[in-house]
């Protein structure tokens, strides 16, 4: 019993590094949050100019990693005046009632060499699970983080009603981000 009592502090000290949290990062200039979809069979790209992200990530400690992203939906731009005017409106994002979208991870998992971030996306007051492919590349004291996934717009009521026809506006929207990170 005395030996166990003497070994307990040593075992605890050895276990603590494994319990350490993931590294915290801040988002830097050059980061982009975008999406792509289709309208009448033609592809288009868009982006959000205002968004924030809290990123804690360590590929060796996925259990303690976390993404928490908030998007200002009124900052949407696609390069098309009509579309840019319609997206914030009540038929699509309805920014008057739901100004922000929010994604927070619930966990990470490996699928072969690919890391997948599972989480919940809240958009237009609807919360649904979304999974994103993650590519994390350490660079000096920072890193780059690329994510990609697909969101079914109608699951969130985006473009419902008269705009629910997926042969006119595609039902799948690809979400992408390239995030430049600096260690905190």
* Interval 12-30: pLDDT, tens: 333 333 344 689 999 999 9
Domain count, the chain: 1
Residue 111 CB partners (closer than 8 Å, separation 6+): none
Is 56 inside a domain boundary? yes
Per-residue pLDDT tens for 54-76?
999 999 999 999 999 999 999 99
CATH (domain of 122): 2.40.128.110
Q: Residue 111 is encoded by which pair of tokens?
A: 């699928």
H or E segment and range at residue 85: helix 81-86
Q: Residue 172: which of 19, 35, 9 has the closest Cα?
A: 35
Is 12 inside a domain boundary? no
Distance, CA of 66 to CA of 140 (rounded, Å): 21
Q: Residue 93: which of 19, 168, 18, 173 has the closest Cα?
A: 173
Is 155 inside a domain boundary? yes
Q: What is this structure's pTM?
A: 0.87
The residue range of the domain holding 26 is 21-183
Distance, CA of 158 to CA of 5 (rounded, Å): 61
């Amino acid at each position: 019993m005395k030996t166990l009592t003497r070994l307990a502090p040593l075992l605890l000290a050895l276990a603590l590094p494994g319990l350490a949290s993931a590294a915290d990062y801040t988002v830097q200039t050059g980061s982009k949050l975008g999406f792509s979809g289709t309208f009448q069979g033609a592809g288009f790209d868009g982006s959000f100019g205002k968004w924030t992200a809290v990123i804690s990530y360590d590929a060796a400690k996925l259990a303690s990693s976390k993404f928490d992203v908030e998007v200002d939906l009124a900052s949407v731009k696609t390069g098309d005046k009509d579309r840019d005017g319609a997206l914030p409106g009540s038929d699509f994002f309805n920014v008057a009632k739901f100004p922000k979208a929010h994604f927070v991870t619930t966990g990470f998992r490996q699928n072969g060499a690919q890391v997948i971030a599972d989480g919940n996306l809240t958009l237009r007051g609807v919360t649904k699970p979304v999974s994103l492919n993650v590519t994390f590349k350490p660079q000096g004291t920072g890193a780059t983080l690329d994510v990609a996934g697909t969101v079914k717009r109608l699951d969130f009521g985006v473009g419902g009603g008269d705009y629910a026809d997926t042969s006119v506006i595609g039902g799948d929207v690809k979400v992408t981000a390239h995030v430049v990170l600096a260690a905190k």
